[in-house]
Structure 1
Amino acid sequence: MPVNSIFGMFAKSPIRPIQLHIDKVAACCELLIPFFKASHDREWVKANDIRKKISKMEKQADELKRELRLTLPKGLFMPISRSDLIELVNRQDKIANTAKDIAGRVYGRKLEMPDSITKDFITYLQRCLDAIQQAKKAINELDELLETGFRGREVDIVTKMISELESIEDDTDSLQIKLRRDLLKIEEHHNPVDIMFLYQILEWVGQLADHSEHIGTQLELILARS
C-alpha cells in the first residue's frame, strides 16, 4: 500500500489504518484452523500452502505497521496520543508474528497433534481466535469513541468488550492447563523432542489470546487518559 494512500486514510480517520491492520492480523490467524486440520491429516503439501498464506499475510500486516509508524502525524489533535496508537499497533502485530511462528514450527518438524487431544486442541485454538476477534471488535469501536469524545454509552460498550475479552482469555488459560495435563499422560508414548515442541505450540497458541488481552489493556489505558 503506497504511503500517500495511508496519508489519505489519516485525513479521513486517524484510526482507520489501525483497523485495517487488525483486520489483516485476524484474517492471518484464522488460517491456523485449516492449517492444523491439514497437518493432522498429514496433508503436508496443503499445510505448506496455508503456511505460505499465513506468512504472506503476516508480511502484509508488517508492512502496514511500518507505513503507519512512518506516516502517523506527530501533531495529532485528538484524545489519543501518537505513542498510544503506535503501541496499539505493536501489540496487534505480535499476534500475526506468533501465528507465523506457530505454522513455521509445526510444518518445519512435520509436527502432528496426537489424536487423543486433537479435538480439545482445536477447541482451544478456536477460543484463542475468539479473543482476536473480540479485540478486533473493540478496535473497530475506536471511530465511535472519537466521535463521542470518549464519553457516554460508547465508553460503556467498549468497556464491556474489554471485560469479555478478559473472560475469553481466562477460558484459554483453563483449556491450556487441561491440554498440558492430557499431554503429560501420553508423552511417554511419543518422540520426546516432538513432545517438547508440542508443549511449545500449546504455549504459543495461548499467546494469541494473551496478546489480544494486551490490546484490551492498551485500550483501557487510552480510555483512562482520554
Structure 2
Amino acid sequence: MPDNVLCGLIARSPFKQLRNQFSQVHQAVQLLVPVLRSALDEDWATVTSTELHVRELNQESERVARDICLHLPNSLFMPIPRSDILSLLHAQCDLAQHASEIARLISLTTLAIPAALQDEIRIHLLRAVEVVRHLMRIMGKLDELLESRFRGHEAVLVQTMISELINVEHSSRQRRDEATVKLLGMKDRLPAADLIALDRLIELIAGLSAQAKRVGLRLEQLMAS
C-alpha cells in the first residue's frame, strides 16, 4: 500500500475519537475514589457534589459516543470495520454507566460502611480503578498500533498490556471475594437494607473491573481480526 494511501487511512482513524471519549470515562472512574473517601468521612455534601460530576461526565461521554455514531463513515475504506468500532464504543459507554451507578448508590443511600469493612471496600475499589487505568494506557497506543498494521513491536506491546490488565482484573475479583466474605460475617449485626446496599456496592465495583476487561478483550479481538 502506498504511503500516502496509508496516511489517509490513519487520518480517518476513529481511534482518536474513541480515546477522547474514553478519557471522559476514565475521569468519571477516577472520581469514585474521592466519592468513597468522602463517604467514609461522612462528608455527604462532598459525596453529592462529586457524584454529580461523575454523572455529568457519564452524560458527556454518552453525548460524544452518539456524535461518533452519527458521523462514523460507512465506508469500505475504514481502517477497521465500522461494526467493531460501534461495539467497542458501546462497551466503553457501559463502563461509564458502571461508574455512575457506583457513585449514585453511595450518594442516594448515604451508605454507612462499617469500620470493619472499610479497608476491604477501599482496596476493592482501588484495584478496579487500576484496571481502568491500565485500559487507558492501552487506548493511548491505538494509533501507533494502527500505523504498524496491528503487527510487530507495537502489537506485542499492546498484547502484553492486555495480559497485564487481565491479571489485575483477576486480582480485583479476589478483592471482591474478600469483601463479600467479610460482609457475610457481619450479616447478623447489620440491618437488611444496609446488607443489601453493601453487597450491591461490592458487585458494582466488581462489574466495573469486569467491564474494563471486556473492553480490553474487544481490543484484542480487533488485533486478531
What's the TM-score, normalizing by structure 1? 0.92
Higher mean C-alpha deviation, range 200-209 or range 103-112: 103-112
Corresponding residue for residue 154 of structure 2: 154
Please give the alpha-carbon distance, in whole angstroms, between the structure 2 residues aligned to 1:208 and 1:95. 6
Structure 2 counterpart of 1:122, one-letter code: R
Check conservation: 2:39, 2:111, Cα contact below 8 A: yes
Residue 134 of structure 2 corresponds to 134
Check whether the contact 1:120–1:179 (CA below 8 A) recurs between aligned residues.
yes
Tell me by how many angstroms 1:36 deviates.
0.7
- SS of 1:84's equivalent? helix
Who is 1:48 aligned against?
Answer: 48
- 2:22 — aligned with what? 22
Shift, 1:80, TM fit: 1.5
CA contact (8 A) 1:31 1:50 kept: yes
Structure 1 position 11, deviation (Å): 5.0
Are the aligned partners of 1:54 and 1:100 in contact in 2 as well (CA < 8 Å)?
yes
**How do 1:15-164 residues align onto structure 2 when only pairs under 5 Å count?**
15-75=15-75, 77-164=77-164
Give 1:13 shift.
3.8
- Structure-2 residue corresponding to 1:5: none
| Per-residue CA distance 1:10-63 (angstroms, 9 max, x = gap) | 956421110001111000111011101111111111110001000011011010
Residue pair 2:44, 2:107 contacting (<8 A) in 1 also: yes
Which whole-Å CA distance do the structure 2 matches of 1:174 and 1:91 have between them?
A: 23
Structure 1, unmatched stretches of 5+, are 1-9
Unaligned runs of 5+ in 2: 1-9
The CA deviation string for residues 93-125 of structure 1, in whole angstroms up to 9 with x for no partner, is 111101111111221111121111212211110
Residue type at the aligned position of 1:206: A
Relative to structure 2, which stretch is displaced further, 99-108 or 167-176? 99-108
CA–CA distance in structure 2, aligned partners of residues 76 and 14 of structure 1? 14
Return the offset for 1:79: 4.1
Q: Give 1:4's aligned residue.
A: none
CA contact (8 A) 1:76 1:82 kept: no
Tell me the equivalent position of 2:199.
Answer: 199
CA RMSD in angstroms comes to 1.3
Q: Distance in 2 between matches of 1:221 and 1:144?
A: 17
Q: Which residue of 2 aligns with 1:170?
A: 170
Give the whole-Å Cα distance in 2 for the aligned partners of 1:223 and 1:176: 30
CA offset at residue 77 of structure 1? Answer: 2.0
2:167 aligned counterpart, secondary structure: helix
Are the aligned partners of 2:13 and 2:79 in contact in 1 as well (CA < 8 Å)? no
Q: Secondary structure at the match of 2:55?
A: helix
Q: Aligned partners of 1:175 and 1:14: how far apart in 2?
A: 35
Report the CA distance between 1:186 and its aligned residue: 1.2
In structure 1, C-alpha distance between the alignment counterparts of 2:87 and 2:222, rounded to whole Å: 11
- Mapped to 2, the partners of 1:102 and 1:151 lie a distance apart of 38
Corresponding residue SS for 2:186: helix
In structure 2, what residue type is equivalent to 1:214?
Answer: R
Question: Conserved in 1, the CA contact under 8 Å of 2:33 and 2:126?
Answer: yes
The secondary structure found in structure 2 opposite 1:42 is: coil
8 Å contact from structure 2 (residues 12, 78) kept in 1: no
Q: Which amino acid aligns with 2:32?
A: L
CA distance, structure 2, for counterparts of residue 215 and residue 202 of structure 1: 21
3-state SS in 2 of match to 1:94: helix
The C-alpha deviation readout for 1:143-184, integer Å capped at 9, x for no partner, is 001111111111100100110111011001111001100011
1:78, distance to aligned residue in structure 2 (A)? 4.2
